[in-house]
C-alpha cells in the first residue's frame, strides 16, 4: 500500500473534465513539491507536471494541478481518447528521505 493514496480508477466521457486525487501527509505533499506522471501502456512514465503546477514543454494546459494541505489533485479538461493511461503522483518524503509514488490511477475515457 502506497504512502501516497490515489483512487484506482476514474472515468469520464470525451470532452469532459476529470480529477485524480493524491493524498499524503505533512512529510511529503504537505511540505514538498508534487509531480505527476502519465504512463501509456508499454511505455515508461512521462512527466506531466512538476514543482506542484509547472508543465514541461509540450504538455498542454488541459493538465493542471491544485494542492491543498496534504493533498494534490490533477485535473484534465477536454478529455481525449489519447488521455487513456495510468497517472501517478510523486513527492519527496522528508521523514523517509525517499521519493514516493502514488499507487496510480487508471483513466478510462468512455
Partner 1 sequence: QVQLQQSGPGLVKPSQTLSLTCAISGDSVSSNSTAWNWIRQSPSRGLEWLGRAYFRSKWYNDYSVSVKSRITINPDTSKNQFSLHLNSVTPEDAAVYYCARGTARDGVAVWGQGTTVTVSS
Q: Which is nearer to partner 1, 92 or 108 (CB)?
A: 92
Stretch that binds partner 1, among 15-23, 50-58, 63-71, 75-83 (CB under 8 A): 50-58
Distance, in Å, from the CA atom of 16 to the CA atom of 63, rounded to the nearest integer, reads: 13
Residues in the chain: 110
Shortest distance (Å) from residue 18 CB to partner 1: 20
Work out which of 12, 30, 50, 106 binds partner 1, going by CB under 8 A: 50
Who's near 105: CB < 8 A, 6+ residues apart? 6, 7, 8, 9, 10, 20, 86, 87, 88
Work out which of 29, 72, 85, 91 binds partner 1, going by CB under 8 A: 91
Contact assessment for residue 9 and residue 106, using Cβ atoms and an 8 Å cutoff: yes
- Which residues of the shown chain bind partner 1 in the complex (CB under 8 A)? 2, 32-33, 35, 37, 44-47, 49-51, 56, 88, 90-92, 96-101, 103-104
Amino acid at each position: 500500500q502506497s504512502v501516497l493514496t490515489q483512487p484506482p480508477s476514474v472515468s469520464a466521457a470525451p470532452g469532459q473534465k476529470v480529477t485524480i486525487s493524491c493524498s499524503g501527509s505533512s512529510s511529503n505533499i504537505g511540505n514538498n513539491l508534487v509531480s505527476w506522471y502519465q504512463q501509456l501502456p508499454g511505455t515508461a512514465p512521462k512527466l506531466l507536471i512538476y514543482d506542484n503546477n509547472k508543465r514541461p514543454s509540450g504538455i498542454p494546459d488541459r493538465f493542471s494541478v491544485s494542492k491543498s494541505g496534504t493533498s494534490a489533485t490533477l485535473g484534465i479538461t477536454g478529455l481525449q481518447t489519447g488521455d487513456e493511461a495510468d497517472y501517478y503522483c510523486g513527492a519527496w518524503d522528508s521523514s523517509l528521505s525517499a521519493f514516493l509514488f502514488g499507487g496510480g490511477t487508471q483513466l478510462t475515457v468512455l
